[in-house]
A and B are shown apart, each in its own frame.
Chain A
Amino acid sequence: MANAALSTPGIPMQPRGLEKKQTWLERLRKGDEVVHLITLSGAWSIIVITGLLVQHLWVYSAIARHTFGWRFLFTSTWDPVNGLFGAWPFVYGTIVTSILALVIAIPIGLGTAIFLAELAPRKISDALTFLVELLAAVPSVIYGLVGIFLLIPILTTAMPYFQKVFGWLPIFSGTFYGVSYFSAAVILAIMVVPFIVSISREVLLAVPVSQREAMMALGATKWDVTWRAVVPYARQGIMGSIFLALARALGETMAVTMVIGNVAQVSTSLLAPGYTIAAVIANEFTEATGDLYLHALIELGLVLFAVTMIINALARLLMLTMRGHEVTG
């Protein structure tokens, strides 16, 4: 059997199988270029969509941009009837609610992340993290519903006692009607805490054991190790999670619209009703009569888009350097 090949005197010109010609159908089926092109077109349609988005926001805000210029952002009169559009109350409201939400959410979220990463047994930690991540998936309109019917009654009940102590501060002065910057900020805080917890926990868990052991060997307490070795090591990732939370808070629409009161005014007191950029778009967009009004609202969308894009980019950059840090360090 084996000698059959051996006794053949000549060398075959080519092995069997190589002489076959491919039909055009086979070539098409094997055609990596075709598949490459089709998937490429899918991928690039994202770039086209994003480009269209930017272009549409720009073109459809042209009238407002030309009429008001940068004044648009910093004047306070929002008077659709007389065609005067100044967006400062919304910008102010957006900034105030988002910052306040972060002030509430960061310590609580970080504390929870530290507990889940450093103290809790792994199984409990995983179960609680699953719950927290499930809540990140709850739609914002449902948070708004809970805000109206659960949070606002609670806050209204508690507020007189709170004001007895802190009412002398200008930011806690005035009558509390329930709908307010403060209510919006609390709802936002509840909504962004899951982000901070789940990302920060990941980052903390990724800190190498050597970092902890080095401090531990110096006789440090558990808290010293956590606060002086683990958290500083993970700070870029934590900052990244905070920026993501901020971007989410700035763009959040429904829950805020439902509890902020929707009054276009600028108040020092956090207990007064206010307005945000996203909320005014949601409320007035379908009733915007006239091109100037519509363009003013779309310009607000453009502003929101630009700001969230910048913050998201910063967050990604932080996460990216964090990853690089891990690899090299």
Chain B
Amino acid sequence: MIVSRSSSNSPSYPPRSRKIINYIMLSLTGLCTLLVVSVLLTILVYLLWNGVHALNLNFFTKLPAPVGQSGGGVSNAIIGTLKLLALASAIGVPIGLLGGIYLSEFAGGWSAFTVRYTTDLLNGVPSVVMGIFVYTLVVLPMHHFSTLAGGIALGIMMIPIALRSTEDFLRAVPRSLREGGLALGASKSETIFTIVIPAAIYGIITGIMLDVARVAGETAPLLFTAFGNQFNSPGWLQPTASLPVVIYNYAISPYDEWHQQAWAAGFVLLSGLLVVSIIARLILARGKKLSHG
């Protein structure tokens, strides 16, 4: 009785209206995807287009030209960025590696929790706040901006990701390998350094490369640590130019030549980052291939 009534009232389930809603909503999600992808592609293509047009050899070899003159380059900023990244890696990588080894191999209980939680906390600190911190920590006592201060700021920003990615890749090394080492009479630390780390090394390198690529584009923490410089910065204790800060300063300037330089700098920075990211992923893929025979 009940069965026959319901079947006569709605011959097909789901009802028409629901089917229409189904199609509308599903097409809307497709539209969202289309929108996101096209916006992102537009940005990339626009940047490449403008960047390639503004690039020339002088850009890499010359110092900035005075206002109003065309030509000139940003060789000082390229060198500055490389120096900043070298210093940042010298600070961020060792601490990240040691912390990662600690979390994966030694830590337990409240100590692991505290370190892990603080790392996440540090990772969430807005980059401009990191700039303030290093300003009060380094620039105020030294009384001037410097490569050193900028490198320290970027280095601290590198620690959380270097640490967590190292930890993750070390954790992924199977317990059986560690036991294999221990069973041969290796101590825990010998096992870590001769078996566990070599087994995870491709992943660890990938994580660090991606980390360097990430901080290479940071601008806000450099504004009041490395500051900027029209010339080459000798040594480590003078203010220095860097690509991200140059992009910022040139982009908000009123001069068309400088806008061109900003595009070129943006192009160089971004292609550098993308190349490093892609190489990093290739290294990881190679490591996976090796460990699976």
Contact = CB atoms under 8 A, between A and B. Distances in A.
B179 interface: no
Contact of A116 (B33, B107, B126, B247): B33
B189 A286 contact: no
A149 B189 contact: no
B94 interface: yes
Interface stretch (A37-45, A78-86, A265-273): A37-45
Interface residues of B, number: 94
Contact of B156 (A49, A115, A142, A253): A49
Given A220-B14, A221-B14, A193 B36 contact: yes
Contacts of A197: 36
Of the candidates A139, A193, A313, the one having the most CB atoms from chain B within 10 angstroms of its own CB is: A139
A45 B92 CA distance: 11
Interface string A110-123: 11101110111000
A46 B115 contact: yes
A contact patch SS: helix
A159 interface: no
Contacts of B130: 53
A42 B128 CA distance: 25
B262 A145 contact: yes
Contacts of A46: 95, 99, 115, 118-119, 122, 159-160, 163
Contact of B32 (A112, A145, A227): A112
Contacts of B219: 139-141, 253-254
B132 A142 contact: no
Interface in B134-178: 135-137, 156, 159-160, 163
B40 A131 contact: yes
Interface string B237-252: 0000000100110011
A312 interface: yes
A19 to B, nearest CB: 15
Nearest to B267: A142
A138 B270 contact: yes
A214 interface: no
B276 to A, nearest CB: 10
B106 A115 contact: no
Interface of A: 29-32, 34-36, 38-47, 49-50, 52-53, 56-57, 59-60, 107-112, 114-116, 118-120, 128, 131-132, 134-135, 137-146, 148-150, 190, 193-194, 197, 219-224, 227, 247, 250-254, 258, 278, 281-282, 285-286, 297-298, 301, 304-305, 308-309, 312-313, 316
